[in-house]
Amino acid sequence: MSLIASRLSLSYSDIPFLRDINLSVLPGKITTIVGPNGAGKTTLLQCLANEISPTSGSVTLNGRDIRDWPSVDRAIMLSILPQHSFLDFPFTAEEVVMLARTPHATGANIDQKVVADALKVVDGSYLSKRLYTELSGGEKQRIHLARVLAQIWHPHTKESCQARFLILDEPTSSFDLAHQKLTLKIIKNCAEEGIGILLVMHDLNLAAECSDQIILLECGEIAMIGTPEEVFTVEAINKVFNVKANIGQHPETGKLLVII
């Protein structure tokens, strides 16, 4: 059970955006994609989420081509948080999160509890009755994080035996420091529950703190793949990001620390 890209390539008008991508996202593990602007990170996520069809190669979800899953079944197993979510309807925050329960046939009582629990997890309970359109950027992003969590929250369907996956594109970009820390905690807790996590992050230190596997993307190709210690080397960072870096160790966590 996994989310796998095999020899994935994407081109527009003969211009390659992704080239020969091979990766696996495993249940209970956190994989983070890093790379400079324009490297193809978001495009890769969109291919893996079946939002864009690759020119060649394949994506399999739990042993089956992702295109062959009925959309309802796929939504129960795979949830994606884009970098920017656009919603202009005057829904309450609670109603926005409830949209994620549409694929589930679990009934109003269970759905309401899931929504309340998801809002609590993201520190958004106090926002539940507020209009989404009146929230700040960071508050809106927390509501969308609650929404994607609610989408794959404890499925009670025929697909409940299937592994679940969460794809997050820059999930901490709109958050203050406290909510960045909370988001990393949420991501780690999801992994501990057996959910496979795929992230895009620009902050190399946040990526090093939470990730089991790092994918370094450069010009649509995987330049390196491995643990944070294997990928975040002085040579690799200097080459791909064109900056001078030093590698240290966080004084409290002992995690790798990238110093630019």
The ranges of the chain with pLDDT < 50 are 156-159
3-state helix, strand, coil in the chain (%, to 5): 35, 25, 35
Q: Are 172 and 203 in contact (CB under 8 A)?
A: yes
Q: Can you give the pLDDT at residue 13?
A: 87
How far apart CA 129 and CA 91 sit, in angstroms, is 9
Report the SS3 class of residue 231.
Answer: helix
How far apart CA 32 and CA 168 sit, in angstroms, is 9
What single DSSP character describes residue 233?
Answer: -
Structure tokens at 222: 């995987």
How far apart CA 191 and CA 149 sit, in angstroms, is 12
Helix (H) or strand (E) holding 28: none
Q: Can you give the pLDDT at residue 67?
A: 95
Supply φ then ψ for residue 152, to 5 degrees.
Answer: -115, 20
| Residue of 42, 47, 55 whose CA lies nearest to 16 | 55
Supply φ then ψ for residue 186, to 5 degrees.
Answer: -60, -45
| Residue of 78, 89, 24 whose CA lies nearest to 46 | 78
What is the residue type of 119?
L
How far apart CA 133 and CA 191 sit, in angstroms, is 31
How far apart CA 60 and CA 49 sit, in angstroms, is 10
Helix (H) or strand (E) holding 217: strand 213-218
Per residue in 1-41, pLDDT (tens digit) is 899 999 999 998 888 999 999 999 999 999 999 999 999 99
How far apart CA 65 and CA 88 sit, in angstroms, is 34
Structure tokens at 208: 């090093």
Structure tokens at 7: 């020899």
| Residue of 44, 42, 39, 41 whose CA lies nearest to 218 | 39
| Residue of 153, 137, 190 whose CA lies nearest to 75 | 153
- Domains, the chain, ordered by start: 3-259 (3.40.50.300)
How far apart CA 196 and CA 188 sit, in angstroms, is 10
